[in-house]
Amino acid sequence: MRTTTPRSEELLRVGAALLACAVVACVAPTKPEELLQLHPESGAHKAMQTRHFETRDDVELLSASAAVLQDLGFQVVESERPLGFLRAAKERSAREYGQEITRVFVALLSVAASALGGGNSVVIMPVDVHQQIHASLVASPIDEAGDRFEVRVLFYRLVWKSDGQSGNEYVEPGEQRMEMIRDAGIYQTFFARLSKAVFLEAHKI
């Protein structure tokens, strides 16, 4: 039977603390039902996601929106012109250097803890490997004359994780989460390009 010395017990405690810190440091994902919930910052988010456009041509507005999304690397996967709705998506790698370093660090600590404690407490953290970024857009009239439209776009992503291990338990790959994209720069870029496209179309440039 393997015995532990005070020194090895101390190492085990330090390793366990570091493992706990690594787990706590992981960012909690956005649950699907949270996408439509109101939060204190919902007003700011709506302002970021929304712009008004002076135009009578809702079809052209939706076409311009689709063209801008395509310029940003998206492919339109659903379009309902009578409803002023479209959805686009693009595939990207989700690997992050920081996650990979944490995965290796936690694995090494857990292997050391297993060697000292005599059990199998190896931890291999699943990491993000693939993502699908979505854009959902709605263009709707905001006056009776039909010459002003509100465009609201929502960017979010689905992220898939790699496999992992927790002691003797194998964690299968493919776990999925959904989260909002709240980077203001993405919305600013989209609306800047859409504003330019609508202006050029209005003036037939």
Joined together, the tokens standing for residue 143 give 């006056």
Give dist(CA 51, CA 153) in Å, integer.
Answer: 9
Q: Is residue 15 part of a domain?
A: no
pLDDT in the model for residue 25? 36
Q: Is residue 10 part of a domain?
A: no
Q: Are 98 and 118 in contact (CB under 8 A)?
A: no
Tokens 């857990």: give the residue. Answer: 110
pLDDT in the model for residue 20? 39
Q: Is residue 4 part of a domain?
A: no
Give the helix, strand, coil percentages of the chain, each rounded to 5: 45, 30, 25
Per the prediction, the chain carries an average pLDDT of 79
Q: Which of 36-40, 121-125, 186-190 has the lowest mean pLDDT?
A: 36-40
Q: Is residue 110 part of a domain?
A: no
Rg of the chain over all Cα atoms, to the nearest angstrom: 24
Q: Which domain holds residue 147?
A: 33-95+126-202
Question: Which pTM does this prediction carry?
Answer: 0.71
**CATH assignment at residue 150:** 3.30.310.80
Q: Which tens digits make up the pLDDT trace of 116-132?
A: 877 777 888 889 999 99
pLDDT in the model for residue 135? 95
pLDDT at 195 over 90: yes
DSSP states of 94-138: ---HHHHHHHHHHHHHHHHHHHHHSS---EE---EEEEEEEEEEE
Question: Counting Cβ atoms within 10 Å, is residue 88 exposed (0-12), middle (13-18) or buried (19+)?
Answer: buried
Average pLDDT for 101-111: 87
Q: What percent of the chain has pLDDT over 90?
A: 40
Report the number of distinct structural domains present in the chain. Answer: 1
